[in-house]
């Protein structure tokens, strides 16, 4: 059984690692995303019986694009404008994506997407590179 102190320590450790990784790869993570990822990782370690990741996830092209938009930090309205779709359509794609991946937040979807190789973590660009 894990004590609340151990759970807190683990969450803080994950939080720090996520922030360091995001900084290293120049990924824009919000505080809310970091918290969601840290909680999901803590749950996965403390209670491995809780299904965090479905190993077989097949996404439609729209769902894959929605996941990519989440990974780069786009808001639903920005994605809708870029893809010339309605906001409701983007929200539907997100709900379907979350259900298919077994997640509740965009941060969890991105973490699962990276873990399953559905999206790649971009390499940090050097100054002056194209």
Cα 56 to Cα 122: distance, rounded to the nearest angstrom: 23
**pLDDT at residue number 109:** 85
Percent of the chain whose predicted confidence (pLDDT) is above 70: 77
**pLDDT at residue number 49:** 54
Helices 31-46/106-115 angle, 10° precision = 60
Read off the pLDDT of each residue in 4-10 and give the average, rounded to a whole number: 81
Q: How confident is the model at residue 78 (pLDDT cuts 50, 70, 90)?
A: very high
Task: Check pLDDT > 60 for residue 122.
Answer: no
**pLDDT at residue number 116:** 76
Read off the pLDDT of each residue in 66-80 and give the average, rounded to a whole number: 90
Q: How far is CA 9 from the centre of its chain?
A: 22
CB-based burial label for 32 (10 Å; 0-12, 13-18, 19+):
exposed
């Amino acid at each position: 059984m894990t004590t609340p102190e151990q759970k807190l320590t683990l969450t803080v450790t994950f939080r720090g690692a996520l922030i360091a990784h995001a900084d290293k790869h120049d990924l824009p993570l919000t505080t809310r995303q970091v918290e969601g990822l840290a909680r999901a990782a803590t749950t996965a370690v403390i209670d491995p019986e809780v299904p965090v990741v479905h190993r077989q996830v097949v996404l439609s092209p729209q769902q894959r694009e929605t996941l990519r938009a989440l990974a780069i930090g786009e808001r639903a309205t920005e994605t809708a404008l870029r893809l010339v779709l309605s906001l409701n359509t983007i929200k539907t794609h997100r709900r379907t994506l979350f259900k298919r991946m077994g997640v509740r937040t965009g941060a969890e979807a991105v973490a699962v997407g990276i873990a399953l190789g559905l999206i790649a973590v971009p390499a940090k660009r050097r100054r002056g590179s194209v």
